[in-house]
Amino acid sequence: RSADRVEADVTGLLRERLAAIAEEAERGVAAVPGVNLAAMTDEIAKLKVAIDGAQFPAAVEGAIHLRESLERLRRQGEEADESLRRARDLVGEIEGMNLELPATLRLLEKADRAYRMGQFEEAADFAASAEAEAARERDEAIAAAMRRLEESIARTRQQGTDTRSADIPSSSTSIRR
């Protein structure tokens, strides 16, 4: 009798712990934005069926897999969120310079859409591409502005105006102190 009672107690404790893991997984799925709920809900349902059927090896394996999946999703979500934040910060700085970033904004929109859909790796990739594109668009806009300034100075010089105060020092010209 005591062996049966010990077995029943252990079985009860195991069932309670696995059920707690299933509940924790349900809360975790709800907490991660955009997660593919159907796939995760299916895994949770399989775990509950295994628990109810006292199929503890399958239940333990399912619980471990579920925890790993949720942790991976949470980590990917955090990484994507950080990538999006960096890209948005850079866009804000560049827009503060009154520069246009059409390609960057399209990439950032794709990153946001992927994030909302729970495709965190894709969101992080789009955000990283947006950062690189923002730097490229910024550099091109600055170079174009410098060319326009130099052309303007050259035209003014051709008209006979003294442009020494507007000349842009080259790297070989030393600045007087």
pLDDT digits (tens, 9 = 90+) for 33-91: 666 666 777 888 888 888 888 888 888 888 888 888 888 888 888 899 999 999 999 99
pTM, two decimal places: 0.69
- What pLDDT does residue 175 have? 45
d(CA 47, CA 154): 75
pLDDT digits (tens, 9 = 90+) for 11-22: 888 888 888 888
The CA distance from 15 to 148, in Å, is: 74
Q: Is the dihedral of CA 166, 169, 170, 172 positive or negative?
A: positive
CB atoms within 10 A of CB 19: 16
In this prediction, residue 163 carries a pLDDT of 64
Give the residue, 123 or 170, on which the prediction is more confident.
Answer: 123
Q: What is the pLDDT of residues 96-130, one digit of tens each?
A: 999 999 999 999 999 999 998 888 999 999 999 99
